[in-house]
Amino acid sequence: MVRILLSGCNGKMGRMITACVAERCDCTIVAGLDINTENHGGFPVFSNPLNCGVEADVIIDFSHPSALKGVLQFAKERNIPAVVATTGLSADQVEEVRAASACIPAFFSANMSLGISLLMELARKAASVLGGEFDIEILEKHHNQKLDAPSGTALMLAEAVTQGVDYDPQYVYERHSVRKKREKNEIGISSIRGGTIVGEHDVIFAGHDELITLTHTAMSKEIFAQGAINAALFLIDKEPGFYAMKDLVGSV
């Protein structure tokens, strides 16, 4: 039984992970970290990692970017693997995760969905075939409480697309699908925020008289919770290093 320490346990994703773990027999949550120390899951909750003396095999961080430094320090001091699933991390913070991976197994993805991982591969392949002749647009939609735009997933998809084209593209960020004329080396990324949309991502290849759209729609947050749990179990007994969804998918 893998013992999980859950950072951000009282947030929306933390509660979803708690509910998912309760239905599994291969892991359990032994403690939580959160600025809100209410006990909703039947395990102790600590506001400060330094006060947590509970033994754990792995930590899942699905909290807030401001908590990252403390989580990584805790993981390194306890010598336990860390799954970082928090969204909205800066490029510098991703590098902090990468630096920590020299000491511990560290898993990071801006999106924990298996389907998104597949969409990235499809987008990369499509770009390698169509990128020279087709305009490329990425459209992402999320609920009205999401703070970052464009989403980390949209940036992951843009990066996948750039790996499939033979030119150095520039990203153009827009909100609410405001369009302008694109240069040939530009990839448009448009963001929509509204209602309770869990997450939708389209990679659009627009050519002469034809349109190809690759789409992923998240129907609930459970897919992200299960992805984080599976990543945590994947890290057990791994050597220190930086792991991502492609490593998890390749192990299945």
Whole-prediction pTM: 0.82
Specify burial of residue 40 (Cβ count, 10 A radius: 0-12, 13-18, 19+). Answer: middle
| pLDDT bucket at 169, cuts 50 / 70 / 90 | confident
State pLDDT tens for residues 14-68: 999 999 999 999 999 999 999 999 888 899 999 998 899 999 999 999 999 999 9
* Mean confidence (pLDDT) of the chain: 91
Answer whether 235's CB lies under 8 Å from 244's CB.
no
| pLDDT bucket at 183, cuts 50 / 70 / 90 | confident
pLDDT of 96 strictly over 90: yes
- 77's tokens: 């001091």
* Residue 207 φ then ψ, to 5°: -115, -165
| pLDDT bucket at 249, cuts 50 / 70 / 90 | confident
Q: Among all residues, which ones are annotated catalytic?
A: 142, 146
Residue 181, pLDDT score = 67
Residue 246, pLDDT score = 85
